[in-house]
């Protein structure tokens, strides 16, 4: 199937090294030599044909680091041969011989790409990183060879011009329109000279994105905080202390404690550590990532990416990169996004300042003698939560054991809403012992999908949480979904239970919402499968699924003490629900600061480029009115993977944009009887199954009965 290859990162850099040089090992690329031909796969290569496992799940037991390059070589070659046949067809251009043929093409490349880029995110190593850096510009060049093919675009234009006279159904018409739009936006109408410059920029952007991502992972590992004295860990749960001790042992430092970082500015231990000095060390280690000098400093990478994307946007006829990206989203314009973020920023920061005053009063009452700082916020807000609601977040963890949350919470909710059933498979190969596989059966008893769960943090796994698809659904190709969720839960020492924070529980439900979007896909064409929707719509179904984490019927089913089995006391549940608008000034402001920073970077003009990352950040936050030191951005630029390496450039606003739809949808469920099969089936039919085959706002409007309304979101976040 022809689909844009999603590198862990996006798009484009430098001259393409010759295939033989890559296979043999070029200077600086030690470890990617292969015993297989650089041009052809052997008969034993696991990517050579479609997998024979259930739902064509990748045969991870047969895939080695040496499998990838030959498969990419053959995949790119075969795809271009298919494109040449389509473009050179002497028959008049038709929907079937041009558009459908294009959608069918590149299946080998899709097979190897879906595994490789998921492995570079979830289970990477030095060899895969070297391959990734080598492939990034080559895959960008491959993409350009298709989308800038004049003969191919000529045929697409002819089909597009005649689309209304072919008697095609709505999904087929949309496929024509989408391919035409994709090619035009990719530069198909540029002059040959401009196409040449575009190819060079695309190659550079791809390589820089790969470099950014790898630097982030290396900086996370290098920035872990070492603690010599157990007393400094006062406040940390016993299991977390044991995990820190185990991490120290794994790094050759027995007797010490190592606190690994996650890829957000704030670090979870800041909530519980009574040592202000250690909280400060954690915070300062976090915000210094990518800005400390040395081989993994990302400042130059950020500036180069911003400059290249700005220049590319101008070449393609747009004022800036944000304008280019937003044109193809539901937001459409920078004005629309700027207005939403600005409208939310003022009340959010006002709330955050009130919250800060409350925290400062608590510090002063304890005679702390200091002004509340960013690394104090989580610690004192938990104190205030406990004081105000007689509630300590640590009280929840014993009731949130991972397996119980997964099976009796996440899976249970999907069963009640959609009739799904889950059964664990232990006969299928996985890429890491912690990965689990589940058969998913639909309400009618028919197999629906395979679901993989990869829950634990690892040093070779990128931060955050995400969903990906190894196989995407398509009736055209008779494919059924194989989807996976990845989390970064600290793994407890052997024999100890995996107990989750409330945020981790919410994240599980969120990511499973993405998984449902992939599993419920019911489209004909691969181009539209699953989560192939605009970035500012893709978070909507996952955010809706979060509501079930605290739905009484669901919570009562999974929130049981991991030792006694006792249900969470109703009074504790009431406190959880009562605190849902607590700290919303902070939560909204630190998200908005990152979203506004993203827009400022990508709304710069190619003629007025920034030259200093820290200075630009400070100015952008000040101008947006969110420069409140106790509430820093959720991500600083040098570790903002969403927008510099993961496809969300100028798109981080999507979470709050999607939350408008989410809050409105939650209101609909409450008004229409809540967790019922009728409601679930309606949401599945109108939203989750459609993928990109329909206009997303139209899908929402058909489901909801009216256009999106922002009022439920303002009420939810205490901003009304």
Q: What is the pLDDT of residues 609-643, one digit of tens each?
A: 999 999 999 999 999 999 999 999 999 999 999 99
Name the nearest CA neighbour of 591 among 534, 657, 646.
657
Task: Report the pLDDT value the prediction gives residue 28, as an integer from 0 to 100.
Answer: 29
In this prediction, residue 7 has a pLDDT band, given cuts at 50, 70 and 90, of very low
Task: Report the pLDDT value the prediction gives residue 217, as an integer from 0 to 100.
Answer: 94
Report d(CA 221, CA 458) in Å as an integer.
10
In this prediction, residue 1 has a pLDDT band, given cuts at 50, 70 and 90, of low
In this prediction, residue 336 has a pLDDT band, given cuts at 50, 70 and 90, of very high
For residues 539-546, average pLDDT:
96
Q: What is the pLDDT of residues 123-181, one digit of tens each?
A: 999 999 999 999 999 999 999 999 999 999 999 999 999 999 989 999 999 999 999 99
C-alpha dihedral over 220, 223, 228, 232, to 10 degrees? -80
- Give yes or no for residue 11 having a pLDDT over 90: no
Q: Is the Cα dihedral 602, 607, 612, 618 positive or negative? A: negative
In this prediction, residue 59 has a pLDDT band, given cuts at 50, 70 and 90, of very high
For residues 103-114, average pLDDT:
97
Whether the Cβ atoms of residue 652 and residue 594 lie closer than 8 Å to each other: yes
Task: Report the pLDDT value the prediction gives residue 595, as an integer from 0 to 100.
Answer: 98
Comparing 408-417, 497-506, 509-518, the range with the smallest average pLDDT is 497-506
Task: Report the pLDDT value the prediction gives residue 3, as an integer from 0 to 100.
Answer: 54
- Give yes or no for residue 31 having a pLDDT over 70: no
Q: Is the Cα dihedral 439, 442, 445, 449 positive or negative? A: negative
Q: What Cα–Cα distance (Å) separates residue 375 from each residue in 54, 371, 383, 387, 455?
A: 48, 11, 14, 20, 27
Q: What is the mean pLDDT of the chain?
A: 92
Q: What Cα–Cα distance (Å) separates residue 691 from each residue in 325, 472, 547?
A: 19, 11, 21
As a whole-number percent, the residues of the chain with pLDDT over 90 amount to 87
- Give yes or no for residue 12 having a pLDDT over 60: no
Three-state DSSP state, 186: coil
Report d(CA 162, CA 160) in Å as an integer.
5
Q: What is the pLDDT of residues 230-281, one digit of tens each?
A: 999 999 999 899 999 999 999 999 999 999 999 999 999 999 999 999 999 9
Whether the Cβ atoms of residue 507 and residue 150 lie closer than 8 Å to each other: no
Q: What is the DSSP code string of 45-93?
A: -TTSS---SGGG---TTT--GGGHHHHHHHHHHHHHHHHHHHHT--SPP
- Give yes or no for residue 14 having a pLDDT over 70: no
Structure tokens at 514: 């993405």
> For 299-391+582-652, which CATH class?
mainly alpha
Q: What Cα–Cα distance (Å) separates residue 559 from each residue in 376, 436, 510, 551?
A: 30, 22, 17, 11
Report d(CA 651, CA 597) in Å as an integer.
11
- Give yes or no for residue 91 having a pLDDT over 80: yes
Per-domain boundaries in the chain: 1-10+68-124+145-187, 223-287, 299-391+582-652, 397-536
Which CATH code is given to the segment(s) 1-10+68-124+145-187?
1.20.1050
Task: Report the pLDDT value the prediction gives residue 39, as an integer from 0 to 100.
Answer: 53
Any idea which residues carry the catalytic annotation?
Answer: 511
Name the nearest CA neighbour of 272 among 289, 259, 284, 286.
259
Q: What is the length of the chain?
A: 720
Which CATH code is given to the segment(s) 397-536?
3.40.390.10
- Helix extents (H) in 603-710: 613-624, 641-644, 654-671, 677-683, 696-704
Q: Which residue has the higher pLDDT, 676 or 6?
A: 676
Residue where the block lists tokens 């500012």: 536
Report d(CA 255, CA 243) in Å as an integer.
12
Max avg pLDDT among 8-17, 549-558, 578-587:
549-558
Domain 1-10+68-124+145-187 and domain 299-391+582-652 have a common topology = no
Task: Report the pLDDT value the prediction gives residue 580, as an integer from 0 to 100.
Answer: 78
Task: Report the pLDDT value the prediction gives residue 114, as an integer from 0 to 100.
Answer: 97
Whether the Cβ atoms of residue 696 and residue 537 lie closer than 8 Å to each other: yes
Enter the pTM of the model.
0.90
Task: Report the pLDDT value the prediction gives residue 25, as an integer from 0 to 100.
Answer: 29
Task: Report the pLDDT value the prediction gives residue 577, as an integer from 0 to 100.
Answer: 79
- Give yes or no for residue 2 having a pLDDT over 60: no
- Give yes or no for residue 668 having a pLDDT over 80: yes
Task: Report the pLDDT value the prediction gives residue 390, as an integer from 0 to 100.
Answer: 86
Report d(CA 487, CA 678) in Å as an integer.
31
- Give yes or no for residue 646 having a pLDDT over 90: no
Q: What is the pLDDT of residues 371-409, one digit of tens each?
A: 999 999 999 999 999 999 888 878 899 999 999 999 999
């Amino acid at each position: 199937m022809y689909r844009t290859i999603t590198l862990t990162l996006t798009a484009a850099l430098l001259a393409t090294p010759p295939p033989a040089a890559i296979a043999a090992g070029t200077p600086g690329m030690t470890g990617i030599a292969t015993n297989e031909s650089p041009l052809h796969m052997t008969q034993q290569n696991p990517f050579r044909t479609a997998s024979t496992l259930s739902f064509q799940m990748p045969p991870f037991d047969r895939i080695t680091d040496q499998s990838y390059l030959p498969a990419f070589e053959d995949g790119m070659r075969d795809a271009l041969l298919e494109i040449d046949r389509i473009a050179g067809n002497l028959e008049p251009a038709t929907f079937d011989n041009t558009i459908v043929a294009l959608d069918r093409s590149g299946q080998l490349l899709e097979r190897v790409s879906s595994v490789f880029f998921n492995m570079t995110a979830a289970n990477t190593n030095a060899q895969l990183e070297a391959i990734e850096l080598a492939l990034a510009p080559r895959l960008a060049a491959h993409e350009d060879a298709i989308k800038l093919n004049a003969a191919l675009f000529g045929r697409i234009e002819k089909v597009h011009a005649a689309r209304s006279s072919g008697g095609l159904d709505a999904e087929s018409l949309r496929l024509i329109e989408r391919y035409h739009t994709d090619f035009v936006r990719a530069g198909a109408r540029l002059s040959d000279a401009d196409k040449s410059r575009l190819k060079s920029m695309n190659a550079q952007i791809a390589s820089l994105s790969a470099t950014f991502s790898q630097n982030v992972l290396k900086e996370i590992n290098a920035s872990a905080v070492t603690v010599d004295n157990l007393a400094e860990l006062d406040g940390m749960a016993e299991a977390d202390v044991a995990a820190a001790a185990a991490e120290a042992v794994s790094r050759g430092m027995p007797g010490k404690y190592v606190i690994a970082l996650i890829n957000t500015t704030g670090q979870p231990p800041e909530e519980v550590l009574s040592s202000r000095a250690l909280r400060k060390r954690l915070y300062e280690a976090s915000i210094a990532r990518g800005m400390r000098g040395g081989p993994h400093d990302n400042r130059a990478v950020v500036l180069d990416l911003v400059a290249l994307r700005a220049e590319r946007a101008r070449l393609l006829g747009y004022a800036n990169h944000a304008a280019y990206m937003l044109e193809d989203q539901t937001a459409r314009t920078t004005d629309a996004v700027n207005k939403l973020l600005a409208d939310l920023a003022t009340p959010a920061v006002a709330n955050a300042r009130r919250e800060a005053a409350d925290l400062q009063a608590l510090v002063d009452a304890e005679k702390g003698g200091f002004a509340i700082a960013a690394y104090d916020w989580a610690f004192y807000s938990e104190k205030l939560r406990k004081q105000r609601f007689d509630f300590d977040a640590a009280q929840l963890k014993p009731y949130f054991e991972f397996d119980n949350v997964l099976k009796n919470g996440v899976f249970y909710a999907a069963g009640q809403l959609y009739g799904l059933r889950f059964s664990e498979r232990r006969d299928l190969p996985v890429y890491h012992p912690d990965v689990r596989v589940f058969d998913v059966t639909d309400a009618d008893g028919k197999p629906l999908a395979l679901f993989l769960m990869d829950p634990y943090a690892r040093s070779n796994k990128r931060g955050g949480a995400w969903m990906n698809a190894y196989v995407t659904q398509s009736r055209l190709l008779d494919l059924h979904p194989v989807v996976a969720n990845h989390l970064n839960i600290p793994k407890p020492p052997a024999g100890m239970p995996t107990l989750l924070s409330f945020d981790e529980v919410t994240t599980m439900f969120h990511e499973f919402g993405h998984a449902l979007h992939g599993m419920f896909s019911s489209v004909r064409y691969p181009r539209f499968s699953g989560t192939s929707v605009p970035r500012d719509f893709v978070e909507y179904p996952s955010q809706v699924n979060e509501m079930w984490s605290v739905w009484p019927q669901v919570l009562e089913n999974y929130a049981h003490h991991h030792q006694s089995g006792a249900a969470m006391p109703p009074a504790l549940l009431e406190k959880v629900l009562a605190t849902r608008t607590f700290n919303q000034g902070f939560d909204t402001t630190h998200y908005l600061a990152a979203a506004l920073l993203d827009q400022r970077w990508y709304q710069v003009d190619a003629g007025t480029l920034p030259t200093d990352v820290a200075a630009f950040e400070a100015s952008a936050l000040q101008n947006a009115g969110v420069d409140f030191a106790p509430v820093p951005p959720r991500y600083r630029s040098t570790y903002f993977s969403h927008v510099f390496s993961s496809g969300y450039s100028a798109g981080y606003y999507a979470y709050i944009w999607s939350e408008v739809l989410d809050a409105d949808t939650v209101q609909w469920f409450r008004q229409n009887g809540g967790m019922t099969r009728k409601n679930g089936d309606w949401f599945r039919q109108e939203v989750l199954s459609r993928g990109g085959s329909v206009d997303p706002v139209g899908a929402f409007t058909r489901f909801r009965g009216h256009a999106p309304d922002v009022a439920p979101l303002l009420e939810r976040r205490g901003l009304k």
